[in-house]
Amino acid sequence: MDEPAGGGRMTSGAQEYRGRVDQWNADAGWGTIAAPEFDGPIWVHFSAISPSAASPGGYRSLRTGETVDFTAERANQDEFRWRAIMVTRSEGNPNSEENRS
């Protein structure tokens, strides 16, 4: 599969998809996202997380099970075929910082 299946929406010229954080390793600063349009997990590094999604101390991380919007590119990243290049928390995400109490 060279391109993900349809279903994403265009934003700023890039196809944006919605997925779920499948795993996150805070110590290593990376994890994976699962989305139905892709033929495997999407690798994500903390540097791809939007600064607006950072914690008050500036730390960028995600939580397993969190819903995110992202753009991705084809990659040969370890055993992963896809790499997220921009990740934001989905609006209305019950797992986002502003909705946790």
- List the CATH number of the domain containing 56: 2.40.50.140
Pairing of strands 80-89, 42-45: parallel
Q: What is the pLDDT of residues 40-68, one digit of tens each?
A: 999 999 999 998 877 778 889 999 999 99
Structure tokens at 14: 């890039």
* 89 inside domain: yes
Number of H helices, E strands in the chain: 0, 6
CA angle centred on 22, ends 41 and 12, rounded to 5°? 65
Domain residue limits at 29 = 10-95
Indicate whether 2 belongs to any domain. no
Residue 12 has what pLDDT? 53
In a domain, 31, yes or no: yes
Q: How many domains does the chain have?
A: 1
Dihedrals phi, psi of 96, to nearest 5 degrees: -75, 160
Whole-model pTM above 0.85?
Answer: no
